[in-house]
Each structure stands twice: as C-alpha cells, then as structure tokens.
Structure 1
Amino acid sequence: MSLDQLSKDLIKLANSINNGKDSKEFLKKSGNKLKNKTLNIAKSRVNEDTGNYIKSIKRGKVYNFDGNLSVRTYSGAPHAHLIEYGHIKKDRSGREHGFQKGSHVFTSAQKEFEDEFYNDTQNFIDELIMKNGFK
C-alpha cells in the first residue's frame, strides 16, 4: 500500500467517523447507557412521590456541537435543577426553613460513566478500523 493510498484511506475513515451512520448509532447507544445510569442513581437518591422527575429523564438527539457529534442526557422536569443543585425550603408565607441539599444525580452519573465511555470509544474505533481494512 502506498503512502498516498494510506492517506486517502485515513481521510475516508475520518469522514465516516464524523458524518457516518456508525458514529451516530454509537452515540445513541452511549447516550442510552448514560440515561440508564442516571436513572439508577436518581431512583436511589431522590425521594420523589409522583415519579414525574424520574419519567422526565431522557436521552437527547445526536447533534453537531462545534464541529463534533454530541448527545446529552437531560431532565425535562421544571423542578429538576432544584433536585440537582439544592434549594432553600420555604413555606407558603415565605419563611425559610433550611436548605435542601442537592442530589447531584447528573454530575455523579457523568463521573461514573467516563471510564466506561472511554473504553467503549476505544472499542468502537478499533472495530471501525478493522471494518475499513486497516489491521
């Protein structure tokens, strides 16, 4: 294989990683894993009676962020930021009754998922290289 052919193959591989269907599918699967990890942490840390907070945790679509493909996990609940970061407890008259500490569900899930995502990414790149003829 000539050096010119190798460079063309590497460019082809780079284009398939950035814009290809394989990359989007990989990010969707990784987003689902992060969502499931977030749900497990939320169920163990949050005492939510109605369950609307748990139901509102979702995986977003794969999108382009600063030239890179990205995916996020989020909560659509209007009170999610209060559960995540904490808040001052007040009664109806406005008197304060202490501070409710945050559960930090999303930040904990992110930290726990980093190593797993790194390993999954390495495996994905290895499979992509093997699939495109590099050995």
Structure 2
Amino acid sequence: MSIQMNGLTDFQRDLFNVATREVPKEAPKLMRKIGSKARSTVAKKSRSLVKKKTGMYHKKWKRGKVFVGYHGELVVRVYNSSPHAHLVEDGHWMVDHEGNKTGDFVPGKKPMDKGMREFEASGDVESETVKWLDELLRKNKL
C-alpha cells in the first residue's frame, strides 16, 4: 500500500522535489518520522480490532528502515514481527492440538489495511511534510 500526498500546493510540491535532491540526508529523517506515526496509528487500530490480549501481538508493531523502492522513491515499511500476525491479518482454519482441521474458518481482521487507510485519511503525511519544508527554509538549507 502506498501513501499519496494530496494536500500540498504546487509551490510546496516543487519545494519538496528540490529538498529531496539538494538535501538528500534530510529526506530519510522525514520518512522515519512519518513511518513512526503510521506504526502508532496501525498499532492503535489493531488494539481496537483484536480484543485478545494474550501473547505479544500488540507489542510487535515495528517501523522498518528507509530504503529506495523500485521506482526510485523512498520507502519505509510498517510490519508486525509476531509469528502469528499473518493469521490475525488474513484469517486461518481452526485446528486441534494434533494439527487436524476442525472445519471452522476464522476470518482475518485486517488491522494493517484498516490502520493504513485511517493514517492516510488523517492528513499526517501532508502536515509533517509541510513542517519539514518550513524547518528546512528556516534553517537556510534551501
């Protein structure tokens, strides 16, 4: 899932393009900050959707490193490192202690998808980007 910036003016968009080219070490800092905000939003959404509090599922939400994606853009991932996170996300068949299917399917709760949609709708990406651009202008780096 990718996040698009829609709330920026043309001047801010041009300034953002100049900033990422002229000050390349500053852009990953912005991406780490946005990724951390996304992680906290997704973790909060998962706590509201997944009511079972046993295990370490709620404590394993992480923000990955910033890296260059397929098309040259900066990317940061949000993921859950618990071993059963994919079962909560996608659903699973109920099994007994021997591993035999009992026939019941538990549907996935999709906390990652719902949390990222909530984060996109919140406008945090645009507000953090505007703050970052203002800070760069104030420090005379642009």
TM-score (norm 1): 0.75
Which residue is 1:107 aligned to? 113
Q: Would the alpha carbon gap of residues 119 and 72 (structure 1) be closer, same or farther in structure 2, given more than 3 Å must change?
A: same
The within-5 A match list for 1:16-27 is 16=22, 19-21=24-26, 23-27=27-31
Going by fraction, where is helix more abundant, 1 or 2?
1
After TM superposition, where is structure 1 displaced by more than 6 Å over at least 4 residues in a row?
Answer: none
Consecutive unaligned residues of structure 1, counting only runs of 5 or more, are 1-8
Instruction: Give the Cα–Cα distance (whole angstroms) in 1 for the partners of residues 104 and 87 of structure 2.
Output: 14
Alpha-carbon distance in structure 2 between the residues aligned to 1:102 and 1:26? 32
Q: Which runs of 5+ in 2 are unaligned?
A: 1-14
Moved more, 103-112 or 118-127: 118-127
Larger Rg: 1
The amino acid that maps onto 1:45 is L
CA RMSD of aligned residues (A): 2.8
With the length of structure 2 as denominator, give the TM-score of the two structures.
0.72
Structure number with higher relative contact order (C-alpha < 8 Å, ≥ 6 residues apart): 2
What is the SS of the residue equivalent to 1:58? Answer: strand
Q: Secondary structure at the match of 1:87?
A: strand
Q: How many residues of Structure 1 are paired with residues of Structure 2 in the alignment?
A: 124
The change in CA–CA distance for 1:10 and 1:65 in structure 2 (over 3 A counts) is closer
